[in-house]
Chain A
Amino acid sequence: MIAQILFIALCGVATYFFAKNVGKIRRNILLGKDIDLTDNKPERWKTMLKVAFGQTKMAVRPVPFVLHFIVYAGFILINIEVLEILIDGIFGTHRVLSFLGPVYDVAIGFFEILAFGVLVSCIVFLARRYIVKLARFQSPELKGFANRDAATILFIEIILMGALLKMNAADQILQARGIHHYIAAGSFPISSWLVVPIYNLFSTETLIYTERIAWWFHIIGIFLFMNYLPFSKHFHVIMAFPNTWYSNLKAKGNLNNMASVTQEVKLMLDPSAVVPEGYEPPTSFGVKDVTDLTWKNLMDAYTCTECGRCTSVCPQNQTGKVLSPRKIMMDTRDRLDEVGKNIDANNGSFVDDQKNLHSYISEAELWACNTCNACVEACPININPMEIIVEMRRFKVMEQSSAPAPINSMFTNMENNQAPWQFSPMDRANWTQE
């Protein structure tokens, strides 16, 4: 009875804090400018099914695709067993779903195989990161928290899967020994050879404790993991789904036309043009801080799991420039977190902290971009770092007039000669005469 009350209390606390922190992230995302991404719903569902559920964009790199798919399938399917753990915990039952008979046996057996697969995959992931040292995990932006974050997640997963296998091992021995409460249920294709040979040496009493400890460890581990998510890159396990639903469905080359500029340009070209009623000239252009980005850009930032596929295909990053599309996303999230904390600390309103997104992202990064869309194409969950770069360039150019000198000359040529070079517009058709 005490165990049940403790369990219910634990569930309550874990859910409360998780909901609270997810709520903060939601609030932060909605600090972004509005953009309508609800058109063409059938296409959006299709994109989400393909890209998030089906992980089609992961398949470009087969090795991590297979490993990640095992961990992903494990995450989704083993959660069915967590459902049973929740019911058992609340009602003090044991393996409550075992009335399903053969179906239950097959399911538990399958989960064991998956759990073992997840465990092995996570070990390989650690090896890729820390022994093989894959290039995309060595970038400067991964120093510090980002690096600890990655290792933490992999260790937690390994420990959780270990606890599941230990719990099952102890359980099946207790079942075999005919101990009361441990009804015969489930099949254990992995733990029966991996753990049981050792546990067989233990007394029944020790095994009951072991089973209970592993059970509690597993569920508490899951609660802790759940509450770590909102602070981690691992939040992508949730965000990947909404983020792909809200994908850009237009051609990748289509960069938005700023509506705020259109009216101004119309007036510039024709001062007698009719101004729509209630028209107010825009007060700022481009992105100075995260709140000038759209909520989709901000959602992108919370969705990024820092895998670095974007950076590994960026032509500028590959040739030694400081630009790294992954860093653009990480900086956006860091700054947004900072703005969110500022709002929390100041009773719901932002107090100027003399910083903005440009304090995080340098001109050398912004002016290196080729707008080649390689990063956008590479992202397995449809994040767009390029849009943020162009929006920040807009601020540099239209608010601060601080483009590099050759870019300013290009602008001048375009204004005076209708071409980016200093040729006379009257010579444009000279090639026809040659």
Chain B
Amino acid sequence: MSEFRVRTMADMMAAGEETEILFWVGCAGSFDERAQKITKAVAKILHAAGIKFAILGTEEACTGDPAKRAGNEFLFQMMAMQNIETLNAYGIKKIVTACPHCFNTLKNEYPSLGGEYEVLHHTTLINQLLSQGKISIQGGAFAGQRITYHDSCYLGRANNIYEAPREIIEKLDGALVEMKRSKANGLCCGAGGAQMFKEAEEGTKEVNIERADDMLEANPNVVAAACPFCMTMLRDGIKHHNKEAEIEVKDIAELVATAMDL
């Protein structure tokens, strides 16, 4: 990040500065090359909004979500308790994350293990910042573009967040077009439930290719995602159909950062 320095909680603590919000980056956002771009877009937006935020840096560990969904409750609770110890030590009150899986776990599954925080997904926070005028989108970077939104299962069905991402897209000046299966009826990208980390079971088709068919049918210029795992699956699906030149897959945060000229 050449424009500004992203600071860690340890930095903030050492400098004796207050942090408004912790940016929980997540494993995909930290290590996956494509997802890192989403992470940077979120950081730029937070910076542009003048929010004092920090990351945990090397003190962050996986929330344990894939272990939990794969049935390894021991490993999940070990990860969770370590993270909760770190978060509580810093007195974290509010967290934003760009990963719906981290979001769901932090929000729903940490409280009964002793980790109670206000947890926001980045689409909710960005939508709030836009509504409050703390950030604004100028120009028509997406004017005339058809944008379709792929619901992440862990935002949508799991947590009933359907509108925030759509409201942001509406503000982008493009045309929001829905796929035939959307919102509560949205089709999974194929990554959840630890499927990301294994081969698919024997069948006739990959789930992400089935989803790519839905995307092509909607005939968009841009597919908007809100999850780094969906990002991987959707891009692979588009590539499978050799459409990567025509259809871009972008995270909502990246679309906003582009529209803000960040």
Task: List residues of chain A with CB under 8 Å of any chain B CB.
Answer: 60, 250-255, 257-258, 261-262, 264-266, 268-269, 285-286, 313, 315-316, 318-323, 364, 367-374, 376-377, 390, 392-398, 403-404, 406-407, 409-411, 414-415, 418-421, 423, 425-434
Give chain A nearest CB distance to B36 CB in angstroms.
5
Q: Is B125 an interface residue (CB 8 A)?
A: no
When chains A and B are docked, how far (Å) is the Cα of A371 from the Cα of B187? 12
**Among listed B14-22, B72-80, B142-150, B238-246, interface-contacting one:** B72-80
Other 9 A-B pairs with CB < 8 A, given A286-B71, A410-B67: A257-B73, A321-B201, A321-B203, A367-B198, A374-B187, A398-B73, A403-B70, A404-B199, A431-B39
Do B75 and A411 touch across chains, with their CB atoms under 8 A apart?
yes
Binds A, one of B56-64, B129-137, B170-178: B56-64
Task: Give the 6 A-B CB pairs with smallest separation, nearest first.
Answer: A253-B158, A320-B204, A393-B71, A371-B193, A320-B203, A418-B61
Number of interface residues of B (CB under 8 A): 71
| Interfacial chain B residues near A394, Cβ < 8 Å | 71-73
Q: What's the Cα separation between A376 and B188 when bound, in Å?
A: 13
Chain A hits for B31, CB < 8 A? 419, 421, 423, 427-428
Residues of B within 8 A of A367 (CB): 198, 201
Instruction: Name B207's contact: one of A315, A390, A430 (CB within 8 Å).
Output: A315
Residues in A neighbouring B112, C-beta threshold 8 A? 257
Q: How far is the CA of A373 from the CA of B153 in the complex (A)?
A: 7
Given the complex of chains A and B, what is the CA–CA distance between A393 and B67 in angstroms? 11
The answer to the question of B68 belonging to the interface, with a C-beta cut-off of 8 Å to chain A, is yes
Contact A319 B203 (CB under 8 A): yes
- In the assembled complex, the Cα of A433 lies from the Cα of B201 at a distance in Å of 39
| CB–CB A269/B82 < 8 A | yes
B258 contacts A by Cβ under 8 Å: no
B77 x A432 contact (CB < 8 A) = no
List B contacts of A434 (CB < 8 A). 1, 36
Q: Is B6 an interface residue (CB 8 A)?
A: yes
Q: Which DSSP category, helix, strand, loop or mixed, fits chain A's interface?
A: helix
A329–B251 Cα gap in the complex (Å)? 37
Contacts of B62 in A (CB 8 A): 414, 418-420
Selected from A252, A373, A398, the residue in CB contact (under 8 A) with B72 is A398
Among A253, A392, A397, A425, which residue has the most Cβ atoms of chain B within 10 A? A253
- Tell whether, in the assembled complex, residue B206 and residue A429 are in contact, meaning their CB atoms are under 8 Å apart: no
Task: Please name 29 pairs of A and B residues whose Cβ atoms are closer than 8 Å in the assembled complex, sorted by A.
Answer: A254-B104, A254-B108, A255-B69, A255-B108, A261-B74, A262-B113, A264-B74, A265-B74, A268-B74, A286-B71, A286-B73, A315-B190, A320-B204, A321-B202, A368-B200, A368-B203, A370-B193, A371-B193, A374-B185, A396-B71, A409-B197, A411-B70, A411-B72, A414-B64, A420-B66, A425-B61, A429-B6, A431-B40, A434-B36
Partner of A255, one of B68, B78, B191: B68
Nearest CB of chain B from residue A1's CB, rounded to whole Å: 60
Q: How far is the CA of A28 from the CA of B153 in the complex (A)?
A: 34
Across the interface, name the chain A residue whose C-beta is closest to B72.
A397
Q: Is the CB of B207 within 8 A of A374?
A: no
Q: Is the CB of A377 within 8 A of B190?
A: no
Give Cα A434 to B30, complex, Å: 12
Contacts of B36 in A (CB 8 A): 431, 434
The B1-32 residues at the A interface (CB cut-off 8 A) are: 1, 5-6, 8, 25, 27, 29-31
Across the interface, name the chain B residue whose C-beta is closest to A319. Answer: B205
Question: How far, in whole Å, are A60 and B181 apart by their CA atoms in the complex?
Answer: 12
